[in-house]
Each structure stands twice: as structure tokens, then as C-alpha cells.
Structure 1
Amino acid sequence: MLTVELGEELLIIKSEQPLKVLSSAMLNPGIGRYQYFVNRTVDKNYYPEDAKCEYEQFLQQYTMPLQMTVAMMTAVQQRFVMREQYVDGETTIDVFITAGLGNAVDVTQSYQYTYKPAVGTINIFVFVDGDMSDEAFIQAYHCIIEAKVKVLHERGVIDKQSGTIATGTSTDSVALAVKERGEFHAYGGSITRLGALIGKGVAATLHKAIDGYDAYQKGELR
């Protein structure tokens, strides 16, 4: 079971037990077992000398042990986080996404220019109430990335430097967390039930997150 605490500048997700995680988060990236998951909003002018060190100091005011915490950062206010749940058979996934697009990049064209720091990131957390092999674990992570790229293509998000369709932002973070219990998945690619569920869930949730981002940018949401 997941416990969620949501404030204007901080999203904290707590699991009852440590989960197997693969992530590109700012704090504790890579593969490991973690119990706390954080998405933090910072000001658009946030550029500390050592962001990781500053983040660790920031989290010390909370009761989460740093060695058990995966943490991301965004300029998007946490009230715009989109959370959706999807079920297929005995497997359930929970998807949390914040989407800022001000720093959209086409990775196939970025070799042509040097990017200056800019605000904008897509942060994705996917929690799987199920179990899977190591192979399925990596394949499922791929499905998250593929779904993100597909949505940006469908939305026509442009890399302003190259004028081409963006594949993400330069500071995207993704975390896949697995409870390692219940229905077992040997494979997690795009044509498996697990991969298809993740693809559908991430795409639908990201579309909603972008809708919220667009409305905010247009002044329709405050």
C-alpha cells in the first residue's frame, strides 16, 4: 500500500515495505531497494552550486532516511501532479507524473548545440503491485520511456533549438518501483500485458499532466 502526502512544493510517497527500484532520480539513482519517493518543486531560478548536497540538506527536516529515499526535482507545482491507477488481471500500477516542457529537447539533434540550464522537466513514478523477472524489469522501464516519447510526438512538443519534435527534456527523471509480490511477469516488453498496461497508463497520465501544464501556461489555472 502507498501512503501519499501532497503539498504545494512536495510530494512524498511512502511504501509499507522497501520496493525494488530502477530510476534516473537526482538522489539515489540506479537500482536498489527504497521505501520513500519524493518529488520536490523548486523556484525557476534554483541553481545551487551543488544541487545534490542542497537536496540532502533539505530532506533532513523530514523523517525519511536518505539511504531509503529516491528523490526528484521539478519547477512544476505539486498541485499539478497527475495520479492514476490502472489494473490488468491481478496486476495494478500507480502512475504519478508532473510535466514541465520549457526545456524540451530532441535527443537526436542535441549534438548540434549546447543547452543552457532551463526550467522544465517530466518526472514519472510508476509503482507496480506485482512481481517480475530482471528481464521484465528492464523491459518495463523501456516501455515508460517509449510511452513518454510517443506522447510528446502526439502533442507536437518542439525542441526550440532544432525546431524538431522533442523526445523529452534535458532533466527528465523516471522511477519504476516493484513490490515483488503477487502476479509474476517473466517479460515486460511492449506486447506483454505488463508492458501494454504501463504504456497505456503512462501515456494517458502524461496527456493529463500536459493538459494541466498547458492550462497553467495559458493562465487558465492558478
Structure 2
Amino acid sequence: MTTQPFRRGAASYASPLWPELSIRYETDHISIACGRSYETLSNAPYRGGPGSGERFVNWKVPLNYDCADPAAMMHEALIRWGYDPAKAVGLQTAAHLTHAAFAEEAGDECRLLVCASAGTGNAARAGLARETFSAYEPGTVNLIVLVDGKMTESARVNAVITATEAKSAAFADLDVRDRSLGRTATGTSTDAVLVAVSQSERSRYVHRYAGAATTIGNAIGRLVYAAVHEAVRTQGEP
């Protein structure tokens, strides 16, 4: 089951499964604070790649956004908000954050929470020739996948793949089209995925794979599909 807590003006979301998370909606960003460092893997414009973080931020960028140096702009914004830039991982978007969707469940030796923000104005189909660009633009489908459990680094890569496949499945089922090609879109041209894992000592089992046929991969896929489907389906609603 998914929820969109910020559509009716709520300033925070209290996860029933994961109450220690601090999830807040501010005027121009969503902040998820974990209270401790998580191992991360992402293509986030700010502190992406393999790394760590204890706060994950999805920023709706301003009209004066400078795509020439997104990391520098994000660094300035984090300081302005009072967050430690060295402990944050930052995503950026032009989509409405009020319509961000959350999905969560207790899995096999883990807890999972997914947050998806989505817009489809620049929907694109991978695998076909198209116009390209070199400058960074803010992502339109941003996925934050939190895992309270243990995963190997390769399993985190697997989780990124599974989340991406689930996003594409949601696009296909909603018949989102690449406007320039007229074909079903697989995502947008600027999507981002962040997987963050607690590596908590409470978990005895280490997940080494996260494909669709594993318990954790199946759960990640279902949650991402549900959250993306809800965020995309409602993007034009109040």
C-alpha cells in the first residue's frame, strides 16, 4: 500500500514500520534523516556513487538552477537548510514533491521503505537513437530505497537494477510515452536512484543478491513499482 502524505499539507510523515526515521517536507525539499550512517550507492548529483550518508534529500530546484555545477548548488542549499553536507546525499528534481509516494514493508531479515517523486514531461525510451545533451538537468523520477538490513555491495548494484526495472514496468503499465519517438518510455532522461543500507548488527543474514527472484529483490521491485505508479498516476491531480 502506498501513501502520499504531503498532498494535503502535512509537514512530516511518520513511518508505522520505521518510526526512528525523520521524514519531513519543507518548502523546496524532502529530507529523510536516519540518525546514523548508512552505506549508499546512487547516481545522485551530490555525493553519488558508492559512499555513505545519514540524511537523504530530494530538492525541487529553483528557477535559477545552474546545471553547470549541480553539486556546488546543492552544497550551498544544504548549508542554508542547516544540514551537514558531509553526511548528506542529494537528489534534484523539477517535479512536484507534494506528490511523492511512499511504500514500505517488513521483508526477509530487513525493513524496506521506498520514496518516489515523479514527473513524465521528459519521458524517454532507452535503446533507441535520440537527441542527447551533455549538461546535467535535474532528475524527474527520483527513487530513494532504504534498507534496514545487511547487503553486499554487489547486492546494492542488483537493487539499483531491480528498482530501475520496476520503474520501467510502471511506466509501461501506465502507457507513458516518449513524445519524440512515440514509443513506450522506460523512464525519463534524467532519473536517479539511491539505495541506502543500514548494515545493522541486528540483522544476522547478509543479502548477497537482490534480483526479482530473491525475497529482498522481489520486495524492492514491488515497492518501487507501487510508489512510481502512484506518483506518476497522480501527478496532474491537486
TM-score if structure 2 supplies the norm length?
A: 0.83
Residue 53 of structure 2: aligned partner: 34
SS of equivalent to 1:39: strand
Query: Cα gap change, 1:116/1:189 in structure 2, threshold over 3 Å: closer, same or farther?
Result: closer
Match of 1:12 among 31, 36, 47: 31
Which one has the bigger helix percentage?
A: 1
Match of 2:173 among 149, 154, 165: 154
Once the two structures are TM-superposed, the CA of residue 176 in structure 1 deviates from its matched residue by 0.3
SS of equivalent to 1:35: strand
Residue 123 of structure 2: aligned partner: 104
- Equivalent residues, number: 215
Deviations 1:26-52 (A, max 9, x none): 100100111111011124674454332
Q: Which amino acid aligns with 1:202?
A: V
Residue 91 of structure 2: aligned partner: 72
Q: Aligned runs of 1:50-65 on 2, under 5 Å?
A: 50-65=69-84
Q: Assess if the C-alpha contact under 8 Å between 2:92 and 2:138 holds in 1.
A: no
Residue 178 of structure 1: aligned partner: 197
SS of equivalent to 2:231: helix
TM-score if structure 1 supplies the norm length?
A: 0.89
Q: Aligned runs of 1:105-124 on 2, under 5 Å?
A: 105-109=124-128, 111-114=129-132, 121-124=140-143
Q: Distance in 2 between matches of 1:165 and 1:132?
A: 33
Residue 217 of structure 2: aligned partner: 195
Deviations 1:67-91 (A, max 9, x none): 2111011122322111121222432
Q: Distance in 1 between matches of 2:64 and 2:124?
A: 20
SS of equivalent to 2:177: coil
Structure 1 unaligned spans of 5+: 216-220
Q: Assess if the C-alpha contact under 8 Å between 1:103 and 1:119 holds in 2.
A: no
Q: Assess if the C-alpha contact under 8 Å between 2:96 and 2:119 holds in 1.
A: no
RMSD of equivalent CA atoms: 2.0
Q: Distance in 2 between matches of 1:176 and 1:160?
A: 30
Q: Which runs of 4+ in 1 moved over 4 A?
A: 115-120
Sequence identity percentage = 29
Alignment of 1:91 onto 2:110 = yes
Of stretches 118-127 and 5-14 in structure 1, the one that deviates more from structure 2 is: 118-127
Alignment of 1:135 onto 2:157 = no
Q: Distance in 2 between matches of 1:170 and 1:187?
A: 27
Q: Distance in 2 between matches of 1:61 and 1:23?
A: 23
Q: Which amino acid aligns with 1:191?
A: A
